[in-house]
Amino acid sequence: MTDSRRAIPRTDAVLADERMAGPVLRLGRETVKGAVRQAQDQARRGDIAPEDVVAAALAALPRAATSLRPVLNATGVVLHTNLGRAVLSTAAVEALATAAGSTDVELDLATGRRARRGRGALEALAAAVPAAGGVHVVNNGAAALVLAATALAAGREIVVSRGELVEIGDGFRLPDLLESTGARLREVGTTNRTSLDDYAAAVGPQTGMVLKVHPSNFVVTGFTSSVPVAGLATLGVPVVVDIGSGLLAPDPLLPDEPDAATALGAGAALVTASGDKLLGGPQAGLLLGEAGVVERLRRHPLARALRVDKLTLAALEATLRGPATPTWEALRVPADALRSRSAHVVARLQEAGVPAEVVESAAVVGGGGAPGVEIGSYAVALPAAYAAPLRLGEPSVVGRVERGALLLDLRCVPADRDDDVVGAVLDVGTVGQEPSCT
């Protein structure tokens, strides 16, 4: 009796199959070889026929060379940290493709000589914030603050209000970050109230800078007081303002969110912010302020370790020069438009026997921006049992479970992807019970 395992094709023969040519180019030879060996093992166990090895290997291959999966953000959180915060604009995505090859990131093509790195992005940032005498970019918001504290206050004191020594996601605490630079913290005031006299009493020969931090991810209300930037600017030492969210100029949609232009106009020597929040760009730390201060930071040895790559520079420039970002488009979608889209999705789902309904929803900025601000919205409500299979489906659709139901808020879902949401739900089938959200 002939052993069927002898019919299992050799690895080199499978890799030579014309059906493998595309996957090898897209995923790499070693990844494809691994899938082939798994399929051969299946054939040896008798789980598949030898002639099915190629098909089994192809079916086991990953979608792409990265493990990251695209997600439709139906959470109602515009800047969802776990989903990568800002969605890049089409212009920024195109810029990334350009920057993926050889570029003139640090070369003057006219002279053939070395040029200032990322000058296009820096010029765009300077144009976006005319009040800044100098601008610089590092790899994230925390890095911007670390560079400022190191250059201005290492071995000296940073005067900061107790109410602004915040902790953000994943246990990251601002005091720990600042003390890691070699600076000493001089805490003033109380958790809920700090006065200009508190700062003035602490400022002295050892003061490297006064730091004002936007709490960003929480709101303290009631018997509170804080000192505006204009007051701090009278103390005679550099005032560094960490606005966090990356709003470069005032916007009527978020009137209470601090912005760079206003802080600089009030006398801040330096403003730090993130590029991947309200600015709507790639992860980056923005430094804007007095020309001398920014140059001092740019020349510091640590600046090299915090330098951004060409991909970030390209995406940042395109974000600043290009059209409205998906972040701001999502923030400005009218609630009525979302109600209409949700109703259309629900009607299609109900026709297929899926228990769904339209409910009012409250979207938020997210990413630490505009804490406490809710944006009126609408969502598609499904039984909570849909949450996990939708997350694991293709495409992956992530919503939020609230009061026993899964809400799919379409605010951050492009209108031309509504069909994909419907298809994803229909692929799951009918599960759970009737939603009860009204």
Q: Are 86 and 326 in contact (CB under 8 A)?
A: yes
Give 412 or 214, the one with higher predicted confidence. Answer: 412
Q: Is the pLDDT of residue 433 over 70?
A: no
Phi and psi torsions of 301, nearest 5°: -55, -35
Average pLDDT over residues 25-35: 95
Q: Which residues of 131-148 are buried (b: 16+ CB within 10 A; e: fewer)?
A: bbbbbbbbbbbbbbbbbb
- Which residue in this structure is represented by tokens 């990334």? 96
Phi and psi torsions of 400, nearest 5°: -135, 140
Q: Are 418 and 344 in contact (CB under 8 A)?
A: yes
The answer as to CATH 1.20.1420.20 being correct for domain 90-324 is no
Tens of pLDDT, residue by residue over 58-87, are 999 998 898 999 999 999 999 999 999 999
Average pLDDT over residues 126-147: 96
Q: Is the pLDDT of residue 217 over 90?
A: no
Which amino acid appears at position 32 of this protein?
V
Average pLDDT over residues 286-301: 97
What are the structural domain ranges in the chain? 4-60, 71-81+329-428, 90-324
The DSSP letter of residue 11 is: H
Average pLDDT over residues 308-322: 97
- Which residue in this structure is represented by tokens 């998906």? 326
Residues with Cβ within 8 Å of residue 40, at least 6 apart in sequence: 8, 9, 11, 14, 53
Q: What percent of the chain has pLDDT over 70?
A: 95
Average pLDDT over residues 241-258: 92
Average pLDDT over residues 166-184: 84
Considering only CA atoms, which of 386, 382, 424, 384 is closest in space to residue 401? 384
Considering only CA atoms, which of 81, 95, 86 is closest in space to residue 331? 86
* pLDDT value of position 6: 80
Q: What percent of the chain has pLDDT over 90?
A: 85
Q: Is the pLDDT of residue 48 over 60?
A: yes
Q: Is residue 169 very low, low, confident or very high in pLDDT (cuts 50, 70, 90)?
A: low
Q: Is it true that 71-81+329-428 and 90-324 share their CATH fold?
A: no
Q: Is the pLDDT of residue 274 over 80?
A: yes
Spatial strand order in the sheet of 357-366: 77-79, 357-366, 375-383, 405-409, 400-402
Tens of pLDDT, residue by residue over 338-383, are 999 999 999 999 999 999 999 999 999 988 777 778 999 999 999 9
* pLDDT value of position 435: 57
Tens of pLDDT, residue by residue over 82-102, are 999 999 999 999 999 999 999
Class of domain 71-81+329-428 (CATH, top level): alpha beta
Cα angle vertex 229, ends 224, 233, to 5°? 130
Considering only CA atoms, which of 102, 372, 364, 65 is closest in space to residue 216? 372
What would you measure as the largest C-alpha separation in the chain, in angstroms?
96
* pLDDT value of position 223: 72
pTM: 0.90
